[in-house]
Structure 1
Amino acid sequence: MKCPFCSKDMIEGSITQDRYALKWVALDKDRGLLNFTPIVKGIKLTSALQNQSVKVFYCEQCRKFIIDQDNLLV
């Protein structure tokens, strides 16, 4: 994948979970440790039921990560 910021090749990799599902939460909804509860709306990146990872591209030049929502394993 080409970086949308600098057009250089990005490195494909993954972000893995440990004990909890990974979830993206908007800054205005962030409630610290309470983000693990189903009350806080967000986009689940992984499932808590399985040890999963998320496919991620990284640009060394721009130091940016890109996660395609279509690649989420939930």
Structure 2
Amino acid sequence: MKCPYCDREMVVGSISQDRYALKWIPADKDKGLLNFTPLVKGIKLTSMMDEVTVKVFYCEQCRKFLIDQDDLRLHD
């Protein structure tokens, strides 16, 4: 995949879970530790129930990560 910022080839990799699931939260909804409750809406990047890795592209030049939401294969 080409970087949308500098047009160089990006390196493909993954983000995987360790102890906690990862969830993206909009800055105006960020509740700190309460983000892990179902009350705070966001986009799940990993699941605590399954072994999940998320495909991620990284640009070494721009130091940017890209995640395609269609690559998130999570179970609710």
TM-score by length of 1: 0.95
Q: Which residue of 2 aligns with 1:73?
A: 73
Shift of 1:54: 0.7
Between Structure 1 and Structure 2, how many residues are aligned?
74
Which residue of structure 1 lines up, in the alignment, with residue 3 of structure 2? 3
Gaps of 5+ in 1: none
List per-residue Cα deviations over 1:7-28 (Å, max 9, x = no partner).
Answer: 0000000011112221100000
Deviation of 1:40 after TM superposition, in Å, equals 0.3
Give the TM-score taking structure 2 as reference length.
0.93
Matched-pair contact (CA < 8 Å) for 1:56–1:68: yes
Q: Which ranges of 4 or more aligned residues in structure 1 deviate by more than 4 Å?
A: none
Distance 2:21 2:37 in 1: 11
Identity among equivalent pairs (%): 70
Matches of 1:22 and 1:10 in 2, distance apart? Answer: 22
1:13 aligns with 2:5: no
The whole-number CA distance in structure 1 between the counterparts of 2:20 and 2:73 is 14
Matched, 1:55 2:65: no
RMSD: 0.7
Q: Which residue of 1 aligns with 2:23?
A: 23
